[in-house]
Chain A
């Protein structure tokens, strides 16, 4: 396992972008552009998107579905194999069968738990867990997508959560440093925690291990960047 991870680490993967636009279908080939499709980003200001993406100001999944309904890829199946749809996996009204059919019709082969409920912390997080709208539901939903043959990009905020994502079928793991604070000290602590998480996950991770870099983070994330196989950022 260690050798495999070292190999990945040595060969830095191309960045994975989170984009609000869906690329045109392309012929199936070995290397293709990787992207997380998050059309709902268009509905919120860039400066506050990490925060607003988890608030009741928009319909994250509804935006994805609306965008995909007009993005049929016929007649070529899986014409966008490197694309993952950014879904709110704790949506209590999310129906796996419908999502899988819609993704297939658009030629999309993956999903990502983005935005992730793991960003909500404290007593509120316990409330979500208690109401089955928390991490457990998120992980279970990803597992069901994996069972349907979709590739799963699992965002995680801690090593423990990352392990859970792996256990539920994640084929890519993305460490999320959390909401960027206006206080540089808080950002530094968050960046250090992200590095620790990457470090803890490295020995047990046989899949690409990436780091999400929200715009508001700067050099404080550099140590974590050095530990990741690749980066994820907004397009």
Chain B
């Protein structure tokens, strides 16, 4: 028994429920992709090559080239020694100038792990098939080649359609028999079918029962015909108790046709939308730069859009959130974004030495209040510290700040030149509103709520990378480092994250900041609540971390890899190791 076959038999342990999958391919890209997807062995077939060249699989039977030379050329260049699974050479016995002995010797010399009879006489019938058999170039020659290959220690797979052909394969003691249902349906180049799924399943069941009664060691596969997706395969394999499935068109042509069409259409649509989106994208980018907003979450995009819209108006704004989320910077950014002509005035309401009421409304007749300054933006930080009386006056001022009102509160040139009010406050705590109802009502339209970092961990990698960029150099954070950052609760929000990155960067000598340095840096940070301590002591397992990331990105591997800051290959390897591919 060959080593390759032994390996496969171990995978196909009784009760494992695992089906063996063979990928019938013709180009390096699909070979590698099939193996990444879990293919147990590959069949290098000229049909696979013709498919990726844009022709139907049936072109494999036409005199377009010498099939054996054609297949061997691309298999050597693109597949052999590049994949970790056995590769079977698709050998044609049609050429009288090349004997089965020569074919087997060639497969051994080149380094194929196995051989398969393709293109095969099974795809012909009628007078043509009769002529093939009369000429000695028919199925008996193929079975003979497979028998020689088995004796030479090669893994053997025999394609067959009829009971007579299968009998010859059993006689030749091939390791794997693949019951072919004809050329595949599905996709643009679909071929008319002789079988329905139910008929295919029934036929396979009866034939495999017969095979197992005579050669119980033989692995039984199905291929082609009406099987065009995993559901079809499962139905046939389950009913027939097949050991596996060989996919050709279903692994490359059909999915390629759909995905290329879909992706191209998406790019095309994007191009059409680009003109409309360009101005908006530019505006959002400007907002992000001026406001110092970093992140990739849906929340960040929503805030950018909201701030950009607010900047074009004089609607009063209320920015709510915990400390350390850049609320003040965002509030102040509204001034340059609005291109207002007056000054940017900031009032820290929590300053015990300040008299907010006097500063905002003035002290007649000597001093003009902030709200009376033409074209000004008035930012009130810690607005929750304002007394209810001042909050009520502010609500009155906002109520009266309507076209038609003139006097000390408004510039006579028009309402658009009056002051703009922006309040920054803490979120509601324990059900207690931060502001009185009347003021909160006036600010409702321009309210921006910034969730804490722990509620949008998808922004953590972007913020960390941004901080590293600010620090300069080419330092990167390792995958396990990102895992640690994502597991932390960040009670101190962005300043805490910045401090951790700074400390870890300082204490890392190489170019990659790993989990050890980050863990140490987090340990020096501000003490969080109990939940955060727990997170530090017991970070997410790697499996949970992966699952969490996959869920966040709707199991799209490309997005998940980008989110985690790892390559798709690394992500795939981790998923496979954690048993997340099954």
User: If A51-B137, A93-B53, A128-B58 touch, does A59 touch B65 (CB 8 Å cutoff)?
Assistant: yes
Is A178 an interface residue, CB under 8 A from the partner?
yes
Instruction: Return chain A residues, CB-CB under 8 Å to B61.
Output: 55-56, 124
Is B56 an interface residue, CB under 8 A from the partner?
yes
Q: Is the pair A121, B126 in contact by a Cβ cutoff of 8 Å?
A: yes
Tier of interface size on chain A: 35 or more
The one of A56, A91, A127 that contacts B182, using a Cβ cutoff of 8 Å: A127
Q: Is the pair B63, A115 in contact by a Cβ cutoff of 8 Å?
A: yes
Segment of B90-98, B420-428, B484-492, B510-518 in the binding face: B90-98
Interface residues of B in 378-408 (CB under 8 A from A): none
B88 to chain A, nearest CB (A): 18
Interface residues of A in 187-217 (CB under 8 A from B): none
User: If A123-B125, A124-B123, A126-B192 touch, does A56 touch B46 (CB 8 Å cutoff)?
Assistant: yes
Q: Is the pair A121, B128 in contact by a Cβ cutoff of 8 Å?
A: yes
Q: Is the pair A124, B63 in contact by a Cβ cutoff of 8 Å?
A: no
Is B306 an interface residue, CB under 8 A from the partner?
no
Segment of A16-24, A65-73, A130-138, A222-230 in the binding face: A130-138
Which residue from chain A places its CB closest to the CB of B47 in the assembled complex?
A56
Is B127 an interface residue, CB under 8 A from the partner?
yes
The one of A51, A56, A179 that contacts B67, using a Cβ cutoff of 8 Å: A56
Q: Is the pair B96, A133 in contact by a Cβ cutoff of 8 Å?
A: no
Q: Is the pair A92, B54 in contact by a Cβ cutoff of 8 Å?
A: yes
Instruction: Return chain A residues, CB-CB under 8 Å to B129.
Output: 122, 124
What is the bound-complex CA distance between A132 and B56, given in angstroms? 9
Contact with A along B69-81 (1 / 0, CB 8 A): 0100000000000
Interface residues of A in 27-46 (CB under 8 A from B): 40, 45
Q: Is the pair B94, A56 in contact by a Cβ cutoff of 8 Å?
A: yes
Instruction: Return chain B residues, CB-CB under 8 Å to A126.
Output: 192
Contact with A along B102-133 (1 / 0, CB 8 A): 00000000000000000100011111111110
User: If A62-B65, A88-B63, A115-B63 touch, does A127 touch B58 (CB 8 Å cutoff)?
Assistant: yes
A18 to chain B, nearest CB (A): 15
User: If A88-B62, A131-B58 touch, does A57 touch B53 (CB 8 Å cutoff)?
Assistant: no
What is the bound-complex CA distance between A127 and B123, given in angstroms? 9
Q: Is the pair B124, A124 in contact by a Cβ cutoff of 8 Å?
A: yes
Instruction: Return chain A residues, CB-CB under 8 Å to B57.
Output: 131
Q: Is the pair A133, B63 in contact by a Cβ cutoff of 8 Å?
A: no
B interface residues, how many (CB within 8 angstroms):
44
User: If A92-B54, A133-B59 touch, does A120 touch B64 (CB 8 Å cutoff)?
Assistant: no
B292 to chain A, nearest CB (A): 58
What is the bound-complex CA distance between A62 and B62, given in angstroms? 13
Q: Is the pair B64, A55 in contact by a Cβ cutoff of 8 Å?
A: no
Q: Is the pair A59, B63 in contact by a Cβ cutoff of 8 Å?
A: yes
A115 to chain B, nearest CB (A): 7
Instruction: Return chain A residues, CB-CB under 8 Å to B190.
Output: 130
Q: Is the pair B66, A121 in contact by a Cβ cutoff of 8 Å?
A: no
Q: Is the pair A122, B62 in contact by a Cβ cutoff of 8 Å?
A: no
Q: Is the pair A133, B95 in contact by a Cβ cutoff of 8 Å?
A: no
Q: Is the pair A48, B66 in contact by a Cβ cutoff of 8 Å?
A: no
Q: Is the pair B126, A122 in contact by a Cβ cutoff of 8 Å?
A: yes
Q: Is the pair B128, A119 in contact by a Cβ cutoff of 8 Å?
A: yes
Is B215 an interface residue, CB under 8 A from the partner?
no
Q: 12 A-B Cβ contacts within 8 A?
A: A40-B63, A51-B135, A52-B96, A58-B66, A59-B64, A60-B63, A91-B64, A122-B126, A122-B129, A124-B61, A130-B183, A181-B131
B contact residues vs A (CB 8 Å cutoff):
46, 50, 53-67, 70, 92, 94-97, 119, 123-132, 134-135, 137, 182-183, 189-192, 194
Q: Can you add 6 more A-B contacts, CB < 8 Å, to A55-B95, A126-B192, A130-B190?
A: A57-B66, A120-B124, A121-B127, A130-B183, A179-B127, A182-B134
